[in-house]
Amino acid sequence: MRRLLLRALLPAITPLLLLAVWQVAAVRVDNRIILPPMMDVLHLIIHPTEDLLSMGSLLSNITISLARVMAGYLLAVVLAVTIGITMGYYRPLFRTFSLFFALFRPIPPLAWVPLVLAWFGVASFATLAGLEYGLWYMYLNNLKISMVFIIFIGGFYPVLTSTIQGVQSVRTTLLDSARVLGAGEMAIFTKVLLPAAAPAIVTGMRIGLGVAWMCLVSAEMLPGSLSGIGYLITHAFTVARTDVVIAGMISIGVVGAAIDFIFRFFEERTFSWQRRSR
Amino acid sequence: MAMKNGSILEIAGLTKNYCAENGSIVHALQGIDLDIAANDFVCVVGPSGCGKSTLLRIMAGLDRQTDGVARYLGKPIDRPTPQIGMVFQEYSLLPWRTVIDNVGLGPEFAKVPKRQRLLLATEFLQLVGLERFAHAYPHELSGGMRQRVAIARALANDPDVLLMDEPFGALDAHTRILLQKELLSIWERHRKTIVFVTHSVDEAIFLADRICVMSGTSGRIMEMIDVTMPRPRERSNPFYGQLAERILRMLEGEVVKMGVL
Protein backbone atom coordinates (compact mmCIF):
# COMPACT_ATOMS: atom_id res chain seq x y z
CA MET A 1 0.00 0.00 0.00
CA ARG A 2 2.74 2.39 0.99
CA ARG A 3 4.80 1.37 -2.04
CA LEU A 4 1.82 1.96 -4.30
CA LEU A 5 1.42 5.44 -2.89
CA LEU A 6 5.11 6.10 -3.41
CA ARG A 7 4.91 4.94 -7.02
CA ALA A 8 2.04 7.33 -7.69
CA LEU A 9 3.84 10.14 -5.92
CA LEU A 10 7.28 9.85 -7.53
CA PRO A 11 6.35 11.16 -11.01
CA ALA A 12 4.54 14.09 -9.41
CA ILE A 13 7.60 15.38 -7.54
CA THR A 14 9.34 17.27 -10.35
CA PRO A 15 6.22 19.03 -11.74
CA LEU A 16 5.25 20.14 -8.23
CA LEU A 17 8.78 21.37 -7.59
CA LEU A 18 8.72 23.29 -10.87
CA LEU A 19 5.42 24.93 -9.93
CA ALA A 20 6.81 25.95 -6.56
CA VAL A 21 9.94 27.47 -8.12
CA TRP A 22 7.75 29.22 -10.67
CA GLN A 23 5.53 30.74 -8.00
CA VAL A 24 8.47 31.99 -5.94
CA ALA A 25 10.27 33.33 -9.01
CA ALA A 26 7.15 35.08 -10.29
CA VAL A 27 6.76 36.91 -7.01
CA ARG A 28 10.42 37.94 -7.06
CA VAL A 29 10.45 39.03 -10.71
CA ASP A 30 7.14 40.83 -10.35
CA ASN A 31 6.77 41.41 -14.11
CA ARG A 32 3.91 39.54 -15.78
CA ILE A 33 5.43 39.93 -19.24
CA ILE A 34 8.58 38.07 -18.24
CA LEU A 35 7.02 35.56 -15.87
CA PRO A 36 3.31 35.71 -15.07
CA PRO A 37 2.09 34.32 -11.74
CA MET A 38 1.32 30.66 -11.80
CA MET A 39 -2.29 31.24 -10.81
CA ASP A 40 -2.98 33.37 -13.91
CA VAL A 41 -1.85 30.59 -16.22
CA LEU A 42 -3.62 27.96 -14.14
CA HIS A 43 -6.80 29.96 -14.45
CA LEU A 44 -6.54 29.90 -18.24
CA ILE A 45 -5.96 26.15 -18.25
CA ILE A 46 -8.81 25.42 -15.86
CA HIS A 47 -11.18 27.44 -18.08
CA PRO A 48 -10.24 26.10 -21.53
CA THR A 49 -13.47 27.28 -23.15
CA GLU A 50 -12.95 30.95 -22.30
CA ASP A 51 -12.41 33.27 -25.28
CA LEU A 52 -8.81 34.51 -25.47
CA LEU A 53 -7.66 37.67 -27.31
CA SER A 54 -10.89 37.37 -29.33
CA MET A 55 -9.34 34.39 -31.09
CA GLY A 56 -11.54 31.67 -29.68
CA SER A 57 -10.87 29.46 -26.69
CA LEU A 58 -7.87 27.34 -25.83
CA LEU A 59 -9.94 24.24 -26.55
CA SER A 60 -11.24 25.34 -29.94
CA ASN A 61 -7.73 26.31 -31.04
CA ILE A 62 -6.35 22.96 -29.92
CA THR A 63 -9.10 21.23 -31.89
CA ILE A 64 -8.21 23.15 -35.04
CA SER A 65 -4.52 22.33 -34.53
CA LEU A 66 -5.29 18.67 -34.00
CA ALA A 67 -7.29 18.58 -37.24
CA ARG A 68 -4.32 20.08 -39.11
CA VAL A 69 -1.84 17.69 -37.56
CA MET A 70 -4.08 14.70 -38.29
CA ALA A 71 -4.51 15.70 -41.95
CA GLY A 72 -0.74 15.96 -42.49
CA TYR A 73 0.06 12.99 -40.32
CA LEU A 74 -2.43 10.54 -41.85
CA LEU A 75 -1.16 11.43 -45.30
CA ALA A 76 2.39 10.84 -44.06
CA VAL A 77 1.52 7.46 -42.49
CA VAL A 78 -0.30 6.12 -45.56
CA LEU A 79 2.51 7.09 -47.90
CA ALA A 80 5.40 6.18 -45.60
CA VAL A 81 4.05 2.73 -44.69
CA THR A 82 3.31 1.83 -48.31
CA ILE A 83 6.65 3.08 -49.58
CA GLY A 84 8.48 1.65 -46.56
CA ILE A 85 7.13 -1.87 -46.93
CA THR A 86 7.87 -2.08 -50.64
CA MET A 87 11.31 -0.54 -50.20
CA GLY A 88 12.10 -2.80 -47.28
CA TYR A 89 11.08 -5.93 -49.14
CA TYR A 90 12.40 -5.30 -52.65
CA ARG A 91 16.13 -4.71 -52.52
CA PRO A 92 16.38 -3.03 -55.97
CA LEU A 93 13.74 -0.47 -54.95
CA PHE A 94 15.65 0.17 -51.75
CA ARG A 95 18.86 0.76 -53.70
CA THR A 96 17.07 3.04 -56.15
CA PHE A 97 15.36 5.30 -53.65
CA SER A 98 17.29 5.27 -50.39
CA LEU A 99 19.75 7.97 -51.51
CA PHE A 100 16.86 10.10 -52.77
CA PHE A 101 15.10 9.95 -49.42
CA ALA A 102 18.33 10.34 -47.46
CA LEU A 103 19.01 13.64 -49.24
CA PHE A 104 15.73 15.18 -48.15
CA ARG A 105 15.60 13.80 -44.64
CA PRO A 106 18.12 16.14 -42.96
CA ILE A 107 16.19 19.23 -44.15
CA PRO A 108 14.30 20.54 -41.11
CA PRO A 109 10.56 20.95 -41.80
CA LEU A 110 10.91 24.66 -41.00
CA ALA A 111 13.38 25.08 -43.88
CA TRP A 112 10.61 24.10 -46.28
CA VAL A 113 8.52 27.10 -45.30
CA PRO A 114 9.65 29.61 -47.97
CA LEU A 115 9.40 27.08 -50.78
CA VAL A 116 6.05 25.79 -49.59
CA LEU A 117 4.74 29.35 -49.42
CA ALA A 118 5.91 30.02 -52.96
CA TRP A 119 4.14 26.86 -54.13
CA PHE A 120 0.90 26.92 -52.21
CA GLY A 121 0.62 30.43 -50.76
CA VAL A 122 -2.54 30.68 -48.71
CA ALA A 123 -4.41 28.03 -50.70
CA SER A 124 -6.38 25.71 -48.45
CA PHE A 125 -8.22 22.43 -48.80
CA ALA A 126 -11.29 24.58 -49.44
CA THR A 127 -9.53 25.97 -52.52
CA LEU A 128 -8.76 22.41 -53.61
CA ALA A 129 -12.39 21.43 -53.16
CA GLY A 130 -13.51 24.53 -55.04
CA LEU A 131 -15.52 25.86 -52.10
CA GLU A 132 -15.92 29.59 -51.53
CA TYR A 133 -18.57 29.76 -48.84
CA GLY A 134 -20.64 27.63 -46.49
CA LEU A 135 -19.96 25.49 -43.44
CA TRP A 136 -17.46 23.18 -45.12
CA TYR A 137 -15.62 26.20 -46.47
CA MET A 138 -15.20 27.37 -42.90
CA TYR A 139 -13.78 24.04 -41.78
CA LEU A 140 -11.58 23.33 -44.79
CA ASN A 141 -10.26 26.87 -45.10
CA ASN A 142 -8.49 26.30 -41.79
CA LEU A 143 -6.50 23.48 -43.38
CA LYS A 144 -3.96 25.42 -45.41
CA ILE A 145 -2.07 23.22 -47.83
CA SER A 146 1.26 24.73 -46.79
CA MET A 147 0.66 23.88 -43.11
CA VAL A 148 -0.41 20.35 -43.86
CA PHE A 149 2.67 19.95 -46.05
CA ILE A 150 5.05 21.06 -43.28
CA ILE A 151 3.40 18.66 -40.84
CA PHE A 152 3.50 15.92 -43.47
CA ILE A 153 7.26 16.36 -43.90
CA GLY A 154 7.73 16.12 -40.15
CA GLY A 155 5.68 12.95 -39.76
CA PHE A 156 6.84 11.17 -42.91
CA TYR A 157 10.46 10.30 -42.14
CA PRO A 158 10.15 8.62 -38.74
CA VAL A 159 7.45 6.34 -40.16
CA LEU A 160 9.36 5.61 -43.37
CA THR A 161 12.65 4.83 -41.63
CA SER A 162 11.17 2.52 -39.04
CA THR A 163 8.93 0.74 -41.54
CA ILE A 164 11.92 -0.02 -43.79
CA GLN A 165 13.98 -1.09 -40.80
CA GLY A 166 11.10 -3.21 -39.47
CA VAL A 167 10.57 -5.03 -42.76
CA GLN A 168 14.28 -5.58 -43.33
CA SER A 169 14.80 -7.10 -39.92
CA VAL A 170 12.12 -9.75 -40.34
CA ARG A 171 13.89 -13.09 -39.95
CA THR A 172 14.53 -14.81 -43.28
CA THR A 173 13.49 -18.08 -41.63
CA LEU A 174 9.97 -16.69 -41.15
CA LEU A 175 9.71 -15.78 -44.82
CA ASP A 176 11.28 -19.04 -45.97
CA SER A 177 9.04 -21.21 -43.82
CA ALA A 178 5.95 -19.35 -45.06
CA ARG A 179 7.06 -19.87 -48.65
CA VAL A 180 7.66 -23.55 -48.07
CA LEU A 181 4.18 -23.84 -46.58
CA GLY A 182 2.77 -22.48 -49.82
CA ALA A 183 2.40 -18.74 -49.19
CA GLY A 184 1.97 -16.58 -52.27
CA GLU A 185 3.47 -13.10 -52.54
CA MET A 186 0.26 -11.48 -51.23
CA ALA A 187 0.12 -13.79 -48.19
CA ILE A 188 3.78 -13.06 -47.49
CA PHE A 189 2.92 -9.35 -47.30
CA THR A 190 -0.27 -9.57 -45.26
CA LYS A 191 0.41 -12.57 -43.04
CA VAL A 192 4.15 -12.38 -42.44
CA LEU A 193 5.77 -9.05 -43.32
CA LEU A 194 3.09 -6.70 -42.03
CA PRO A 195 2.50 -8.38 -38.64
CA ALA A 196 6.22 -8.99 -38.14
CA ALA A 197 7.08 -5.38 -38.88
CA ALA A 198 4.02 -3.98 -37.08
CA PRO A 199 5.78 -3.20 -33.78
CA ALA A 200 8.47 -1.20 -35.59
CA ILE A 201 5.86 0.52 -37.76
CA VAL A 202 3.78 1.54 -34.75
CA THR A 203 6.86 2.83 -32.92
CA GLY A 204 7.63 4.90 -36.01
CA MET A 205 4.04 6.12 -36.07
CA ARG A 206 4.28 7.22 -32.46
CA ILE A 207 7.53 9.12 -33.06
CA GLY A 208 6.13 10.53 -36.30
CA LEU A 209 3.04 11.88 -34.60
CA GLY A 210 5.27 13.47 -31.98
CA VAL A 211 7.36 15.20 -34.65
CA ALA A 212 4.24 16.23 -36.59
CA TRP A 213 2.82 17.78 -33.44
CA MET A 214 6.11 19.61 -32.90
CA CYS A 215 5.98 21.05 -36.41
CA LEU A 216 2.67 22.61 -35.55
CA VAL A 217 3.93 25.95 -34.28
CA SER A 218 6.14 26.53 -37.30
CA ALA A 219 3.26 25.54 -39.57
CA GLU A 220 0.82 27.86 -37.85
CA MET A 221 3.20 30.79 -38.06
CA LEU A 222 2.71 30.74 -41.80
CA PRO A 223 0.71 33.61 -43.29
CA GLY A 224 -2.99 32.99 -43.77
CA SER A 225 -3.24 31.41 -40.38
CA LEU A 226 -5.68 33.07 -37.98
CA SER A 227 -6.26 30.21 -35.61
CA GLY A 228 -4.67 27.23 -33.95
CA ILE A 229 -2.72 26.83 -30.77
CA GLY A 230 0.59 27.67 -32.48
CA TYR A 231 -0.85 30.87 -33.88
CA LEU A 232 -2.40 31.69 -30.51
CA ILE A 233 1.06 31.54 -28.92
CA THR A 234 2.73 33.77 -31.52
CA HIS A 235 -0.14 36.21 -31.46
CA ALA A 236 -0.20 36.33 -27.64
CA PHE A 237 3.53 37.09 -27.72
CA THR A 238 3.00 40.13 -29.98
CA VAL A 239 0.41 41.53 -27.58
CA ALA A 240 2.61 40.76 -24.55
CA ARG A 241 0.27 38.18 -23.01
CA THR A 242 2.90 35.83 -21.63
CA ASP A 243 0.31 34.01 -19.51
CA VAL A 244 -1.49 32.94 -22.70
CA VAL A 245 1.86 31.93 -24.24
CA ILE A 246 2.63 29.65 -21.32
CA ALA A 247 -0.89 28.24 -21.14
CA GLY A 248 -0.64 27.45 -24.85
CA MET A 249 2.75 25.79 -24.40
CA ILE A 250 1.43 23.67 -21.56
CA SER A 251 -1.56 22.55 -23.63
CA ILE A 252 0.74 21.56 -26.51
CA GLY A 253 2.82 19.55 -24.05
CA VAL A 254 -0.17 17.88 -22.45
CA VAL A 255 -1.80 16.93 -25.75
CA GLY A 256 1.52 15.60 -27.09
CA ALA A 257 2.13 13.55 -23.96
CA ALA A 258 -1.44 12.21 -24.03
CA ILE A 259 -1.02 11.06 -27.65
CA ASP A 260 2.26 9.39 -26.77
CA PHE A 261 0.70 7.67 -23.77
CA ILE A 262 -2.23 6.30 -25.78
CA PHE A 263 0.16 4.95 -28.41
CA ARG A 264 2.40 3.28 -25.83
CA PHE A 265 -0.57 1.72 -24.10
CA PHE A 266 -1.76 0.27 -27.40
CA GLU A 267 1.75 -0.87 -28.32
CA GLU A 268 2.28 -2.75 -25.08
CA ARG A 269 -1.03 -4.55 -25.21
CA THR A 270 -0.82 -5.56 -28.86
CA PHE A 271 2.82 -6.43 -29.20
CA SER A 272 3.60 -8.22 -25.97
CA TRP A 273 4.70 -11.19 -28.09
CA GLN A 274 7.62 -9.18 -29.36
CA ARG A 275 9.06 -8.22 -25.99
CA ARG A 276 8.88 -11.79 -24.76
CA SER A 277 10.26 -13.55 -27.83
CA ARG A 278 13.68 -11.91 -27.60
CA MET B 1 18.94 -49.55 -52.10
CA ALA B 2 17.04 -46.86 -53.89
CA MET B 3 15.66 -48.06 -57.15
CA LYS B 4 15.45 -45.73 -60.08
CA ASN B 5 11.75 -46.26 -60.66
CA GLY B 6 10.86 -45.72 -56.99
CA SER B 7 12.71 -42.45 -56.58
CA ILE B 8 10.79 -39.41 -55.50
CA LEU B 9 13.68 -36.96 -55.54
CA GLU B 10 16.37 -37.06 -58.19
CA ILE B 11 19.36 -34.81 -58.11
CA ALA B 12 21.74 -34.84 -61.04
CA GLY B 13 24.92 -32.83 -61.58
CA LEU B 14 23.79 -30.23 -59.10
CA THR B 15 26.25 -27.36 -58.80
CA LYS B 16 25.99 -24.16 -56.79
CA ASN B 17 28.52 -21.38 -56.95
CA TYR B 18 28.20 -18.05 -55.28
CA CYS B 19 30.24 -14.93 -54.90
CA ALA B 20 31.87 -14.47 -51.50
CA GLU B 21 32.22 -11.02 -49.92
CA ASN B 22 35.81 -10.72 -51.12
CA GLY B 23 34.77 -11.42 -54.70
CA SER B 24 36.08 -14.96 -54.93
CA ILE B 25 33.81 -17.72 -56.16
CA VAL B 26 32.77 -20.36 -53.65
CA HIS B 27 31.86 -23.80 -54.93
CA ALA B 28 29.23 -24.79 -52.41
CA LEU B 29 28.07 -27.83 -54.37
CA GLN B 30 29.80 -29.55 -57.29
CA GLY B 31 28.15 -32.15 -59.45
CA ILE B 32 25.98 -33.70 -56.75
CA ASP B 33 24.09 -36.84 -57.84
CA LEU B 34 21.56 -38.26 -55.42
CA ASP B 35 18.47 -40.42 -55.80
CA ILE B 36 16.05 -40.62 -52.94
CA ALA B 37 13.38 -43.30 -52.93
CA ALA B 38 9.90 -42.78 -51.56
CA ASN B 39 9.67 -43.42 -47.81
CA ASP B 40 13.44 -43.27 -47.48
CA PHE B 41 15.09 -41.61 -44.51
CA VAL B 42 18.28 -40.00 -45.75
CA CYS B 43 20.65 -38.11 -43.51
CA VAL B 44 23.20 -35.68 -44.89
CA VAL B 45 26.25 -35.17 -42.68
CA GLY B 46 29.29 -33.04 -43.21
CA PRO B 47 31.38 -30.37 -41.56
CA SER B 48 29.95 -26.88 -41.17
CA GLY B 49 30.00 -24.96 -44.43
CA CYS B 50 30.08 -28.06 -46.64
CA GLY B 51 26.96 -26.99 -48.53
CA LYS B 52 24.52 -29.43 -46.94
CA SER B 53 22.04 -26.70 -46.09
CA THR B 54 22.37 -25.25 -49.58
CA LEU B 55 21.52 -28.67 -50.99
CA LEU B 56 18.39 -28.80 -48.84
CA ARG B 57 17.34 -25.27 -49.78
CA ILE B 58 17.60 -26.09 -53.47
CA MET B 59 15.43 -29.19 -52.93
CA ALA B 60 12.92 -26.95 -51.14
CA GLY B 61 12.87 -24.54 -54.07
CA LEU B 62 14.17 -21.69 -51.90
CA ASP B 63 17.52 -21.35 -53.68
CA ARG B 64 18.41 -21.77 -57.34
CA GLN B 65 21.27 -23.96 -58.45
CA THR B 66 23.97 -22.75 -60.81
CA ASP B 67 23.86 -25.94 -62.85
CA GLY B 68 22.31 -29.39 -62.85
CA VAL B 69 18.81 -30.32 -61.88
CA ALA B 70 16.73 -31.33 -58.87
CA ARG B 71 13.49 -33.15 -59.67
CA TYR B 72 10.49 -34.05 -57.60
CA LEU B 73 8.50 -36.90 -59.20
CA GLY B 74 10.25 -36.14 -62.45
CA LYS B 75 9.46 -32.41 -62.49
CA PRO B 76 12.24 -29.85 -61.97
CA ILE B 77 11.91 -28.01 -58.66
CA ASP B 78 12.00 -24.29 -59.33
CA ARG B 79 9.86 -22.92 -56.49
CA PRO B 80 8.57 -24.06 -53.09
CA THR B 81 5.60 -26.41 -53.26
CA PRO B 82 3.38 -27.68 -50.44
CA GLN B 83 4.32 -31.27 -51.37
CA ILE B 84 7.83 -30.63 -50.12
CA GLY B 85 7.80 -29.45 -46.50
CA MET B 86 10.69 -28.10 -44.52
CA VAL B 87 11.60 -27.80 -40.85
CA PHE B 88 14.23 -25.24 -39.88
CA GLN B 89 16.65 -25.22 -36.99
CA GLU B 90 14.79 -22.56 -35.01
CA TYR B 91 12.77 -19.33 -35.05
CA SER B 92 10.46 -20.49 -37.81
CA LEU B 93 7.20 -20.11 -35.86
CA LEU B 94 5.34 -16.82 -36.24
CA PRO B 95 5.77 -15.33 -32.75
CA TRP B 96 2.50 -13.36 -32.83
CA ARG B 97 0.39 -16.43 -33.55
CA THR B 98 -0.72 -19.08 -31.11
CA VAL B 99 0.53 -22.63 -31.53
CA ILE B 100 -2.66 -23.80 -33.21
CA ASP B 101 -2.67 -20.88 -35.64
CA ASN B 102 0.92 -21.66 -36.50
CA VAL B 103 0.14 -25.29 -37.20
CA GLY B 104 -2.82 -24.29 -39.38
CA LEU B 105 -0.69 -21.93 -41.46
CA GLY B 106 -0.19 -24.22 -44.46
CA PRO B 107 -3.92 -24.99 -44.81
CA GLU B 108 -4.61 -21.29 -44.33
CA PHE B 109 -2.38 -20.44 -47.30
CA ALA B 110 -4.25 -23.12 -49.25
CA LYS B 111 -7.51 -21.33 -48.33
CA VAL B 112 -8.93 -24.25 -46.34
CA PRO B 113 -11.99 -23.02 -44.36
CA LYS B 114 -11.32 -22.08 -40.74
CA ARG B 115 -13.26 -24.89 -39.06
CA GLN B 116 -11.61 -27.58 -41.12
CA ARG B 117 -8.19 -26.07 -40.62
CA LEU B 118 -8.62 -25.99 -36.84
CA LEU B 119 -9.57 -29.67 -36.85
CA LEU B 120 -6.54 -30.47 -38.96
CA ALA B 121 -4.22 -28.43 -36.76
CA THR B 122 -5.59 -30.09 -33.61
CA GLU B 123 -5.03 -33.51 -35.11
CA PHE B 124 -1.37 -32.77 -35.81
CA LEU B 125 -0.85 -31.13 -32.46
CA GLN B 126 -2.10 -34.34 -30.87
CA LEU B 127 0.40 -36.25 -32.98
CA VAL B 128 3.26 -34.39 -31.31
CA GLY B 129 1.53 -34.43 -27.91
CA LEU B 130 1.01 -30.69 -27.59
CA GLU B 131 -2.77 -30.30 -27.82
CA ARG B 132 -2.75 -28.80 -24.33
CA PHE B 133 -0.66 -25.91 -25.61
CA ALA B 134 -2.86 -25.05 -28.57
CA HIS B 135 -3.47 -21.51 -27.36
CA ALA B 136 -0.01 -20.79 -26.03
CA TYR B 137 2.40 -18.51 -27.86
CA PRO B 138 5.76 -19.81 -29.14
CA HIS B 139 7.71 -17.81 -26.56
CA GLU B 140 5.88 -19.69 -23.80
CA LEU B 141 7.23 -23.04 -25.01
CA SER B 142 10.60 -24.73 -24.52
CA GLY B 143 12.93 -25.19 -27.47
CA GLY B 144 11.94 -28.84 -27.84
CA MET B 145 8.24 -28.00 -27.81
CA ARG B 146 8.75 -25.32 -30.43
CA GLN B 147 10.42 -27.83 -32.74
CA ARG B 148 7.55 -30.27 -32.18
CA VAL B 149 5.17 -27.51 -33.26
CA ALA B 150 7.33 -26.83 -36.32
CA ILE B 151 7.17 -30.52 -37.24
CA ALA B 152 3.40 -30.62 -36.70
CA ARG B 153 3.05 -27.53 -38.88
CA ALA B 154 5.06 -29.09 -41.70
CA LEU B 155 3.02 -32.32 -41.47
CA ALA B 156 -0.33 -30.49 -41.42
CA ASN B 157 0.35 -29.57 -45.04
CA ASP B 158 0.53 -33.31 -45.79
CA PRO B 159 3.78 -33.15 -47.78
CA ASP B 160 5.32 -36.19 -49.53
CA VAL B 161 8.80 -35.08 -48.63
CA LEU B 162 9.99 -33.57 -45.38
CA LEU B 163 13.26 -31.67 -45.53
CA MET B 164 14.82 -31.04 -42.14
CA ASP B 165 17.68 -28.61 -41.65
CA GLU B 166 19.36 -29.48 -38.34
CA PRO B 167 15.96 -29.41 -36.64
CA PHE B 168 17.32 -30.60 -33.31
CA GLY B 169 20.62 -28.73 -33.50
CA ALA B 170 19.72 -26.14 -30.89
CA LEU B 171 18.32 -28.59 -28.33
CA ASP B 172 19.94 -30.15 -25.29
CA ALA B 173 21.14 -33.75 -25.62
CA HIS B 174 18.27 -35.31 -23.71
CA THR B 175 15.46 -33.53 -25.56
CA ARG B 176 17.27 -34.26 -28.77
CA ILE B 177 17.21 -38.03 -28.26
CA LEU B 178 13.55 -37.86 -27.24
CA LEU B 179 12.64 -36.00 -30.40
CA GLN B 180 14.66 -38.36 -32.58
CA LYS B 181 12.54 -41.24 -31.28
CA GLU B 182 9.33 -39.28 -31.82
CA LEU B 183 10.35 -38.39 -35.34
CA LEU B 184 11.06 -42.05 -36.15
CA SER B 185 7.67 -43.13 -34.84
CA ILE B 186 5.95 -40.42 -36.91
CA TRP B 187 7.95 -41.45 -39.96
CA GLU B 188 7.07 -45.10 -39.47
CA ARG B 189 3.34 -44.33 -39.15
CA HIS B 190 3.04 -41.70 -41.86
CA ARG B 191 5.63 -42.99 -44.32
CA LYS B 192 7.03 -39.67 -45.43
CA THR B 193 10.27 -39.34 -47.31
CA ILE B 194 12.69 -37.51 -45.06
CA VAL B 195 15.92 -35.75 -45.93
CA PHE B 196 17.59 -34.73 -42.70
CA VAL B 197 20.65 -32.52 -42.49
CA THR B 198 22.74 -32.79 -39.34
CA HIS B 199 26.30 -32.35 -38.19
CA SER B 200 25.85 -35.08 -35.60
CA VAL B 201 27.10 -38.46 -36.79
CA ASP B 202 25.35 -40.15 -33.88
CA GLU B 203 22.03 -38.63 -34.90
CA ALA B 204 22.50 -39.69 -38.52
CA ILE B 205 23.19 -43.32 -37.60
CA PHE B 206 20.25 -43.42 -35.22
CA LEU B 207 17.82 -42.11 -37.82
CA ALA B 208 18.89 -42.88 -41.35
CA ASP B 209 18.35 -45.63 -43.91
CA ARG B 210 21.18 -44.05 -45.83
CA ILE B 211 23.79 -41.53 -44.83
CA CYS B 212 25.21 -39.12 -47.35
CA VAL B 213 28.63 -37.96 -46.17
CA MET B 214 29.66 -34.66 -47.72
CA SER B 215 33.14 -33.34 -48.21
CA GLY B 216 33.99 -30.10 -46.49
CA THR B 217 36.26 -28.75 -49.19
CA SER B 218 34.95 -29.68 -52.59
CA GLY B 219 31.17 -29.54 -52.22
CA ARG B 220 30.91 -33.17 -53.30
CA ILE B 221 29.45 -36.33 -51.82
CA MET B 222 32.27 -38.41 -50.35
CA GLU B 223 30.29 -41.53 -49.71
CA MET B 224 26.78 -42.95 -49.48
CA ILE B 225 26.45 -45.40 -46.60
CA ASP B 226 23.53 -47.81 -46.16
CA VAL B 227 22.70 -48.29 -42.51
CA THR B 228 21.46 -51.86 -42.28
CA MET B 229 21.18 -52.06 -38.51
CA PRO B 230 17.69 -53.15 -37.47
CA ARG B 231 15.32 -50.66 -35.84
CA PRO B 232 14.83 -49.63 -33.12
CA ARG B 233 18.55 -49.03 -33.00
CA GLU B 234 20.52 -49.35 -29.80
CA ARG B 235 23.47 -47.07 -29.27
CA SER B 236 25.11 -50.01 -27.44
CA ASN B 237 25.16 -52.09 -30.63
CA PRO B 238 28.83 -52.58 -31.63
CA PHE B 239 28.00 -51.77 -35.27
CA TYR B 240 26.76 -48.41 -34.10
CA GLY B 241 30.13 -47.50 -32.66
CA GLN B 242 32.10 -48.89 -35.59
CA LEU B 243 30.05 -46.95 -38.12
CA ALA B 244 30.31 -43.77 -36.07
CA GLU B 245 34.07 -44.26 -35.84
CA ARG B 246 34.36 -44.71 -39.60
CA ILE B 247 32.30 -41.64 -40.52
CA LEU B 248 33.98 -39.49 -37.90
CA ARG B 249 37.38 -40.41 -39.27
CA MET B 250 36.30 -39.39 -42.77
CA LEU B 251 35.01 -36.06 -41.48
CA GLU B 252 38.10 -35.48 -39.38
CA GLY B 253 40.24 -35.67 -42.49
CA GLU B 254 37.96 -33.14 -44.10
CA VAL B 255 38.14 -30.70 -41.24
CA VAL B 256 41.93 -30.85 -41.33
CA LYS B 257 41.85 -30.20 -45.09
CA MET B 258 39.58 -27.20 -44.61
CA GLY B 259 42.21 -25.75 -42.30
CA VAL B 260 39.73 -25.23 -39.52
CA LEU B 261 41.93 -26.96 -36.95
Chain B CB contacts of A275 under 8 Å are: none
Its pTM surpasses 0.90: no
Identify the residue among B81, B139, B147, B160 best suited for mutation to test binding to A, counting A beta carbons within 10 A and taking the highest: B139
Interface predicted TM-score of the whole assembly (ipTM), two decimals: 0.89
DSSP A191: I
Q: What is the mean pLDDT of chain B?
A: 90
Interface of A with B in 196-215 (CB under 8 A): 196, 198
DSSP A51: B
CB contact under 8 A, B137 and A273: yes
- Nearest by Cα to B165 from B88, B235, B52, B240: B88
Residue A179: which of B62, B91, B108 has the nearest Cβ? B62
Check CB contact of B64 with chain A, cutoff 8 Å. no
Chain B CB contacts of A274 under 8 Å are: 95-96
pLDDT for B2 equals 41
With H, G, I as helix, E, B as strand and everything else as coil, classify residue B240. helix
Q: Which amino acid is at A275?
A: R
Angle between helix axes B143-156 and B173-190 (nearest 10 degrees) is: 20
Check CB contact of A195 with chain B, cutoff 8 Å. yes
CB contact under 8 A, A178 and B109: yes
Q: Which amino acid is at B106?
A: G
Residues of chain A scoring pLDDT < 70: 224, 275-278
Query: What is the sign, positive or negative, of the torsion defined by CA atoms of A164, A169, A172, A173?
Result: negative
pLDDT tens digits for A226-255? 788 888 888 888 888 888 888 888 888 888
pLDDT for A248 equals 87
- Nearest by Cα to B61 from B44, B79, B38: B79
pLDDT for B1 equals 39
Shortest distance, CA A23 to any CA of chain B (angstroms): 51
Calpha distance B242→A132 (Å, rounded): 93
pLDDT tens digits for A21-59? 988 888 888 887 888 887 888 888 887 777 777 778 888
pLDDT for B3 equals 44
Residue A187: which of B90, B96, B109 has the nearest Cβ? B109
Percent residues over pLDDT 90 in chain B: 77
Check CB contact of A224 with chain B, cutoff 8 Å. no
